[in-house]
Amino acid sequence: MKVKIEIDATPEELRTFFGLPDISSLQETMLEDLKEKIKTDSANYDPRKIMEPFLPEHLRSIEGMQQSFWNNVAKATGKSSFTDKDNDK
């Protein structure tokens, strides 16, 4: 048996329905702070440093991201792994 339920509601209505707090003012404040920080310190702005706390440990470096990417490509293509020789082709 298959049951399909379609709900037409705004995010605000769903938040209220599930009893979740409205954090839009907090989000707005954080975005304004981030914008101000970028404007005042644009020479030292590093987006990777901002995102680092939100990334898993193995993706916190460029090499880690590349390795993860190539591992996923290898899985998708049925290879056990990619070597530098394979990447040059």
User: How many helices, marked H, and strands, marked E, lie in the chain?
Assistant: 5, 0
Residues 48 and 75 occupy one common structural domain: no
pLDDT-derived band at 6, boundaries 50, 70, 90: very high
My answer on whether 47 and 67 are in the same domain is no
Torsion sign across C-alpha atoms 41, 46, 51, 55: negative
Give domain status of residue 2, yes or no. no
pLDDT band at 87 (very low <50, low <70, confident <90, very high): low
Q: What is the predicted pLDDT for the residue at 82?
A: 64
Q: Which tokens in the block code for residue 60?
A: 């916190």
Q: Quote the domain boundaries for residue 87.
A: 58-89
Is the same domain home to 48 and 27? yes
Residue 85 buriedness (CB in 10 A; 0-12 / 13-18 / 19+): exposed
Per-residue pLDDT tens digits for 24-77: 898 899 889 888 877 887 777 777 777 777 777 766 677 777 888 888 888 888
Same domain, 43 and 67: no
Structural domain total, the chain: 2
My answer on whether 85 and 71 are in the same domain is: yes
